[in-house]
A and B are shown apart, each in its own frame.
Chain A
Amino acid sequence: MSVPALALDGVSARFGAFTAVRDVSLTVAAAEFVSVVGPTGCGKSTLLNMAAGLLAPGAGGVRVFGEPLAGLNRRAGYLFQAESLMPWRTALGNVMAGLSFRGASDAEARALATDWLRRVGLAAFGDRYPHQLSGGMRKRVSLAQVLVLDPDIILMDEPFSALDVQTRQLMENEVLQLWGAKKKAVLFITHDLDEAIALSDRVVILSAGPGSRVVGEFRIDLERPRDVAEVRTDPRFVELHKAIWDVLRDQVLAGYQQQLARAS
């Protein structure tokens, strides 16, 4: 195998006395779609922040295309879970932001951003401010904002968890379609196993925190292109789901027990 696009080598992260993740190793090949699933509070976001360079690992290291990462990961785009658009910029202005930050001319940025807004189906909404858009539309603007920069690695942190089921399936299909057209390395964080299987080439399972580690890894050999709604009825999908859930369930229960113990 060639050099992975993204490699976490035995990374650990501590916040005070709390160890969020311990000794996690994970690689994402170029053009590979990898999902990380795990119970709530298991440090999935922490993992992603380390991959983005927003958080320096306490131990271990991150390599990007073989190069050790220091500071921000310039080759990665990050789709956040929470609202991340600048409310004082229009949809178009938000998509243009990254390009202008990187020194593109205004005309150039405008042309590219307009094109990407069209690709995410928001051509007519370029002059709207985020508060004038629905939640799903805002997520699509965020997606365009990240993809317009053409990053080699895309990091996604439960990007669709706040959306309703229908919008979510639309967005998932859109992501698959965009990814299929231009294959990038994707690290996708989610707590939704269905979503993970439907989208990914590989699913990595994280144990319950604190001190989460990788407890399982499954290759998803479903055919592409996929439709996230249809693939769920595929017998192979059901099989994989059962196998992964067998591993995940223990972790979810363990995580729940810990939360109960902490509450009492």
Chain B
Amino acid sequence: MWRFLKPGRRTLRLWQLVVLVILFVAWHVLTAPGLLPNFLFSDDHQAAFFFGEPLKIFDRIDHWFFIDGDIYRHLGVTLLETVLAFGIGTALGLGTGLWLALSPFAAALLDPYIKAMNAMPRVILAPIFAVWFGLGVASKVALGVTLVFFVVFFNVYQGVKEVSPVILANARMLGASPRQLLRHVYLPSATSWVFSSLHTSVGLAFVGAVVGEYLGSSQGVGYLILQAEGSFDIDTVMAGILVLTVCALALDALVGRVESSLMKWQPQSGESERL
């Protein structure tokens, strides 16, 4: 039996699952009223009040997804905001990055402003976006876009600047026109940099959506969390956080999939040259 469970590469997932179970069991034991003698709080129920109880949290999630089925609308809104923010932010970042990298004067002209906008804590723009775009989806997308844009922009800018001069000269000698250079050299080179920033930017799009909802909205998972927090319903807050975490992990895995299928020309680390 132990032979099959021995920690190793093959059973890594299993052991990761064990860690998860241990975490939840510890959480349960430490918070369930009456299970352990009080050592930190004076009242049995205070631990549960501050940290929530895993069983109640799972019950909440169960209600959301299977019994009442009322989370789908909120989750759908949050994911829509995330995808829109990610798509628009990436497209804008890619376009601007290519443009500025290829026209040095514009880059020099705008350099201090881009630095300033990047240095600004952009989450603070959320209230302004709420005024401009209302409390619906648009204001959250706008916030997400400001977060995603800079990550993609800086990566593309760097990527175009660092295109190998030899590859560039070679493409020119092979007869590539400026447009073909853009399409066949700059863009693929920049794309590889975009993908290296994709994991970060998907996460930021998600952050933009949830923070936007949290600061003012009528739907979305962030809104659910805000509502629960208003009534000190820690279990629901924790349930919302769990759902968001799982969604973020799923998005990240999806990006990983897309990346490995689109970037198959890049050597994987550790992969030897297959001849």
Contact = CB atoms under 8 A, between A and B. Distances in A.
Interface in B158-194: 164, 166-167, 169-177, 180, 184-185, 188-189, 192
A98 interface: yes
Contacts of B175: 74, 98, 101-102, 149
B273 A131 contact: yes
Contacts of B105: none
Given A87-B265, A133-B273, A82 B166 contact: yes
Contacts of A85: 167, 170
A132 B268 CA distance: 11
A134 B275 contact: yes
Contact of B174 (A101, A131, A132, A133): A101
Given A98-B174, A102-B175, A84 B267 contact: no
Nearest to A131: B267
Nearest to B177: A101
Interface in A72-125: 72, 74, 76-78, 80, 82-90, 97-98, 101-102
B16 interface: no
A65 interface: no
A149 B174 contact: yes
A69 B264 CA distance: 40
A102 B172 CA distance: 11
A88 B188 contact: yes
A72 B266 contact: no
A33 to B, nearest CB: 20
A87 B266 CA distance: 7
A166 B127 CA distance: 69
Contacts of B192: 88
Nearest to A78: B173
A134 B174 contact: no
A129 interface: yes
A145 interface: yes
B196 to A, nearest CB: 14
B9 interface: no
B170 A89 contact: no
Contacts of A88: 188-189, 192, 265
Contacts of B184: 86, 97, 101
Interface of A: 52, 54, 72, 74, 76-78, 80, 82-90, 97-98, 101-102, 129-134, 145-146, 149
Given A78-B169, A86-B188, A133-B273, 20 more contacts: A54-B172, A80-B170, A83-B164, A83-B167, A84-B169, A86-B184, A87-B266, A88-B189, A88-B192, A88-B265, A89-B265, A101-B171, A101-B175, A101-B176, A101-B184, A131-B273, A132-B273, A134-B273, A145-B174, A149-B175
Interface of B: 164, 166-167, 169-177, 180, 184-185, 188-189, 192, 264-267, 273-275
29 contacts: A52-B173, A54-B169, A78-B169, A80-B166, A80-B169, A80-B170, A84-B164, A84-B166, A84-B167, A85-B167, A86-B185, A87-B265, A90-B265, A98-B174, A101-B176, A101-B177, A101-B184, A129-B264, A131-B266, A131-B267, A132-B274, A133-B273, A133-B275, A134-B273, A134-B275, A145-B170, A145-B174, A149-B174, A149-B175
- Please give me the 7 A-B residue pairs with the lowest Cβ-Cβ distance, nearest first: A98-B174, A84-B170, A88-B188, A131-B267, A101-B175, A78-B173, A129-B265
